Amino acid sequence: MFTCEDDIHRLGEGLVACNLPKEEWTHGAHFAAALWLMRYRPDIDPARDMPNMIRVYNESRGGVNSDTSGYHETITQASLRATRGVYDAYPADVPVWRIANALMASVLANPNWLLEYWSRDRLMSVEARRAWLEPDLKPLPF
């Protein structure tokens, strides 16, 4: 999926600058941008700052953050925890594009991975979209 570090920089910088084309803001791009923040932007706390970055990005591309679309707090925070777990498992000298490819070769590549931990109704609820909700099926492993 990713072939070099420039691929990761482009996604991370595109998120921050709100100039990444909407069609490139994919499931994999979310993970790559989070990895980019973890490696290259120590001034940014992904768990604290990425939610607003995503909201602003969505709106800059014509999207709406509402009770039914756009930003989703529980999915974002769970994905960030998973990303941090993968990121921390690698030595600091491993290129981020390789970590991103490993992450996308894992179960996390399936957007439905969260349904192992949350029931669909709970995960897709307005409450889960607005605020962190703990899993109701089993605890996250990270």
**Entry pTM:** 0.96
Residue 74 maps to a domain: yes
Closest by CA to 11, choosing from 38, 45, 42, is: 38
- Domain with 87, as residue range(s), is 5-130
Structural domain count, the chain: 1
Report mean pLDDT in 10-residue bins for the chain, 142 residues: 97 98 96 98 97 98 96 98 98 98 97 97 98 98 90
pLDDT of residue 142: 87
Residue 84 maps to a domain: yes
Residue 116 maps to a domain: yes
Residue 140 maps to a domain: no
pLDDT of residue 55: 98
pLDDT of residue 118: 98
pLDDT of residue 63: 96
Residue 76 maps to a domain: yes
Name the helix (H) or strand (E) containing 62.
none
